[in-house]
């Protein structure tokens, strides 16, 4: 009997070992695959194409392998990164183009090394207990952003907590930090900031982290404006609301935008979460019904897992305390965007007040590093966007202000989505000045 048990247990151990070995091989294979699958943008050339017929131009480019880097257009132009092997075919089209970036790979290389965030407790600032500012010297992987947020929170334990609003499709947390003032949590109207819904917009993540850091630092030193602001509003800051896409930009494709959802109808992956909000979702012209396009809206309103998480979180705050101010942080092109996205005819009720506030923010931003941000309603200022965050949070969640920002740089010529990490602190400083100006005028 004992022998039988022993032999069963020995067999189990053997099986376990075999499984471990198999798993290791699988992991190795996956690892190799991940390495092998990483897209290189070396030699990709970025072109700016002016056009009076956006769709016809897209059709002309149908045989060319390119990545769409559109960001600033009224659909009067396209920004395309053309693969090196297709450059000849592209040039043969004889289009009237301008070169924005000679080599996309070189721009990505300028983003520098992704430094690990090992420091944690050891790298605290001795006075404030906050993480060391060296965090902002480089870009970081998703897991490190989770750790950084934890470290921020532990420097402000009595006035903050981390929250997971829910999980992404691949099971990663949509994590945020909730900050409150004198009267405790969940009483005052909400200020909600989302960043990195578009995975490749890397500057947005550390920029909002920088501002979270400033709020904590300023409240702790009793800086008057931030003390008053945090005593009157609760902040819910979520630096990465598209974690699967973000991980994909690190591991596979630096220029990935959407989430990582597969669809039965197509072999193309990914839904643009910022076209999936369940409000004015099917207004034609503001999104794509084609799963292969960067602005694919999904099969039905709100059918991404990330959206279920965000609407749930946003609506629960709308019902409990109300929402004072929402921002969806994007990059690039230096814009302050107001509702509406879905229509150029719809106008917010307090248009003049909002424009006045936006002008103040624009001026405050300019006063820091001299950068110009243009402000105005989204549809007119950038292009039509249906199923976008700001329209939902304004109309459905009844936020008093519901904006989007496009952070630095202004143009693709300056790197577009890929800008050196030396931009992180200046970006944080300028929009923080913008936010302070707004808080003073709320």
* CB closer to Zn ion, 72 vs 147: 72
The tokens describing 149, both together, are: 């947020």
> Taking a C-beta distance cutoff of 8 angstroms, is the pair 134, 201 a contact?
no
258 scored as a contact of Zn ion (CB under 5 A): no
Q: Which residues, 6 or more positions from 421, have their beta carbon under 8 angstroms from its beta carbon?
A: 111, 112, 136, 137, 138, 139
Residues in the site for ligand 0X9, rule: CB under 6 A? 71, 198, 201, 274, 328, 330, 337, 341, 378, 382, 385, 388-391, 404, 406
How many chain residues interact with Zn ion (CB under 5 A)?
A: 2
* CB closer to ligand 0X9, 180 vs 236: 236
CA distance 245 to 112: 20
Q: Which residues, 6 or more positions from 432, have their beta carbon under 8 angstroms from its beta carbon?
A: 210, 211, 214
Give me Rg for the CA atoms of the chain: 23
* Among Zn ion, ligand 0X9, none, partner that 71 touches (CB below 5 to 8 angstroms by kind): ligand 0X9
198 scored as a contact of Zn ion (CB under 5 A): yes
CA distance 185 to 147: 22
Does residue 170 carry a catalytic annotation? no
What's the Cα-to-Cα distance from 107 to each of 115, 155, 170, 218, rounded to whole Å?
18, 35, 29, 35
CB of 376 to ligand 0X9, least distance (A): 12
> Taking a C-beta distance cutoff of 8 angstroms, is the pair 213, 163 a contact?
no
C-alpha torsion 419→425→430→434, nearest 10: 110
- Range in contact with Zn ion (rule: CB under 5 A) among 160-168, 192-200, 341-349, 370-378: 192-200
CB of 118 to ligand 0X9, least distance (A): 32
**Residue 160: what are its φ and ψ, rounded to 5°?**
-155, 160
CB of 361 to ligand 0X9, least distance (A): 16
* CB closer to Zn ion, 178 vs 330: 330
* CB closer to ligand 0X9, 72 vs 111: 72
| Candidate list 111, 209, 294, 406, residue with the active-site label | 406
> Which residue in the shown chain puts its C-beta closest to ligand 0X9?
388
* CB closer to ligand 0X9, 229 vs 389: 389
140 scored as a contact of Zn ion (CB under 5 A): no
What is the DSSP annotation of 117-160? ---GGGGB-TTT-PBPGGGGGS---HHHHHHHHHHHHHTSGGGE
- Range in contact with Zn ion (rule: CB under 5 A) among 56-64, 197-205, 212-220, 289-297: 197-205
* CB closer to ligand 0X9, 135 vs 403: 403
Which residues partner with 238 through β-bridges?
A: 194
- Range in contact with Zn ion (rule: CB under 5 A) among 39-47, 155-163, 191-199, 239-247: 191-199
First to last CA, the chain: 79
Q: How many CA atoms lie within 13 A of 370 on its CB side?
A: 0
CB of 73 to ligand 0X9, least distance (A): 9
Which one of 45, 330, 362, 408 is in contact with Zn ion (CB under 5 A)? 330
* Among ligand 0X9, Zn ion, none, partner that 172 touches (CB below 5 to 8 angstroms by kind): none
Active site residues: 406
Binding residues for Zn ion, per CB under 5 A?
198, 330
């Amino acid at each position: 009997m004992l022998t039988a048990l022993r032999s069963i247990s020995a067999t189990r151990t053997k099986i376990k070992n075999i499984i471990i070995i198999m798993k290791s091989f699988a992991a190795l294979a996956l690892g190799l695959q991940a390495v092998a699958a990483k897209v290189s943008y070396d030699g990709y050339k970025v072109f700016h194409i002016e056009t009076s017929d956006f769709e016809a131009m897209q059709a002309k480019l149908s045989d060319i392998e390119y990545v769409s880097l559109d960001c600033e257009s009224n659909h009067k132009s396209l920004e395309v990164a053309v693969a090196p092997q297709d450059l000849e075919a592209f040039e043969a089209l004889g289009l009237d183009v301008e070169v924005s970036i000679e080599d996309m790979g070189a721009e990505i290389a300028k983003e520098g090394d992704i430094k690990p965030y090992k420091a944690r407790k050891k790298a605290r600032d001795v006075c404030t207990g906050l993480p060391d500012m060296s965090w902002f010297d480089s870009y970081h992987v998703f897991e490190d952003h989770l750790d950084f947020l934890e470290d921020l929170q532990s420097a402000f334990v009595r006035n903050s907590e981390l929250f997971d609003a829910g999980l992404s499709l691949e099971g990663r947390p949509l994590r945020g930090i909730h900050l409150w003032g004198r009267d405790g949590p969940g009483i005052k109207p909400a200020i909600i900031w989302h960043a990195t819904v578009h995975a490749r917009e890397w500057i947005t993540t550390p920029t909002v982290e920088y501002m979270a850091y400033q709020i904590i630092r300023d409240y702790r030193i009793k800086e008057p404006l931030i003390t008053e602001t945090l005593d009157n509003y609760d902040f819910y800051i979520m630096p990465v609301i598209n974690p699967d896409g973000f991980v994909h930009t690190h591991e596979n494709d630096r220029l990935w935008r959407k989430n990582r959802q597969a669809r039965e109808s197509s072999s193309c992956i990914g839904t643009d979460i910022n076209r999936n909000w369940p409000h004015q979702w099917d207004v034609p012209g503001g999104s794509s019904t084609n799963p292969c396009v960067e602005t694919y809206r999904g099969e039905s309103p709100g059918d991404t897992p990330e959206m279920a998480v965000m609407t749930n979180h946003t609506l629960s705050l709308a019902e409990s305390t109300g929402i004072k101010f929402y921002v969806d942080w994007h990059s690039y092109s230096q814009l302050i965007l107001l509702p509406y996205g879905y229509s150029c005819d719809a106008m917010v009720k307090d248009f003049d007040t909002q424009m006045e506030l936006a002008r103040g923010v624009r001026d405050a931003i300019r006063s820091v590093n001299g950068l110009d941000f243009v402000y105005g309603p989204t549809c007119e200022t950038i292009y039509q966007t249906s199923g976008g965050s700001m329209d939902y949070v304004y109309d459905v969640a009844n936020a008093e202000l519901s904006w989007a920002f496009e952070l630095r740089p202004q143009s693709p010529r300056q790197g577009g989505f890929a800008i050196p990490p030396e931009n992180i602190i200046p970006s944080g400083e300028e929009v923080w000045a913008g936010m302070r100006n707004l808080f003073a005028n709320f």
